[in-house]
Structure 1
Amino acid sequence: MSEEATKILVFSHRAPVRDSIINAIGRRPATDLGKVTYVEAEGVAEVLTEMDSGDIDLAVLDGEAQPTGGMGLTRQLKHELTDCPPIVVAVRRKDDRWLATWSQADAVLVHPLDPLTAAETVAEVLRAQRVPTTRA
């Protein structure tokens, strides 16, 4: 029986930023989580459509995206979606971490992205979202 892959939405108006996020996280952020697949979005409308679909397990939003940044978008999604999936915000400066916290992001990544840190951060957020299983 094969498990369905975890679906991660990656948002940035710039393709190189989306690529750097995907490459840093990788296809399998941790051995206990299985493989992930990516859905890329370059505009806010795409993000809203994907997040509304209920198919996204986690989103990574570029805090520097234009014209709408990932931090404002994170705050909007956290307020508008009843079952909002976890959101990780990628920022350019360590000093912007407080803004990502204000946005209610579940975690923050800082550019340049370190693959070990990015994969570990995403894995921790995904693990925190797991529904515990019980045995009868």
Structure 2
Amino acid sequence: MTETSPRTSGPRILLYSDDRTVRDQVRLAVGPRLRAHAPEIEWAEVATPSAVVDAADRERWDLVVLDGEADKAGGMGLARQLKSEVYECPPVLVLTGRAEDAWLASWSLADAVVSRPLDAIAVQATIAGLLAGARV
């Protein structure tokens, strides 16, 4: 009888933006894995505020990335809502329109902020850092 090692699953990230190009930029910045030989990241992309809330209520995530510049409901308001309403809310990263909006993101209770234009290295490093802290 051959023993097989259990499959190590990668981190699960919920990514919200009403703009597909923003979602693409984030995924491309991070890549399929956090580092070489790490398990692949499982991305779930949503484009509406209700989909964010529904996904956060129904499933467990390692990280939530929210677009602070989304039209109908920005990520800052959603971050505050999730932090207030979701039991054991995962870390939340908010993408802001400008660096000067970081103070507002602190109101949202976000765990981290990355401002536009999105720098791939900053996005990847921030996500990796948040996930490292989430994996206790």
| Partner residue, 1:61 | 66
User: Mind listing any 5+ residue stretches in structure 2 that lack a counterpart?
Assistant: 1-5
- 1:68 aligned counterpart, secondary structure: coil
Higher-Rg structure is 2
Distance in 2, matches of 1:9 and 1:17, equals 13
In the TM superposition, structure 1's runs of 4+ consecutive aligned residues that sit over 4 Å from their partners are none
Give the number of aligned pairs.
131
| Partner residue, 1:121 | 126
Distance in 1, matches of 2:109 and 2:40, equals 26
| Partner residue, 1:42 | 47
| Partner residue, 2:105 | 100
Match of 2:27 among 15, 22, 25: 22
| Partner residue, 1:85 | 90
Give 1:100 shift: 0.9
- Please provide the CA RMSD for this pair: 1.4
- 1:125 aligned counterpart, secondary structure: helix
- 1:124 aligned counterpart, secondary structure: helix
Is the 8 Å Cα contact of residues 80 and 109 (structure 2) preserved in structure 1? yes
State the AA in 2 paired with 1:3: T
TM-score with structure 1 setting the length: 0.90
State the AA in 2 paired with 1:67: K
Is the 8 Å Cα contact of residues 77 and 108 (structure 2) preserved in structure 1? yes
Match of 1:70 among 75, 92, 95: 75
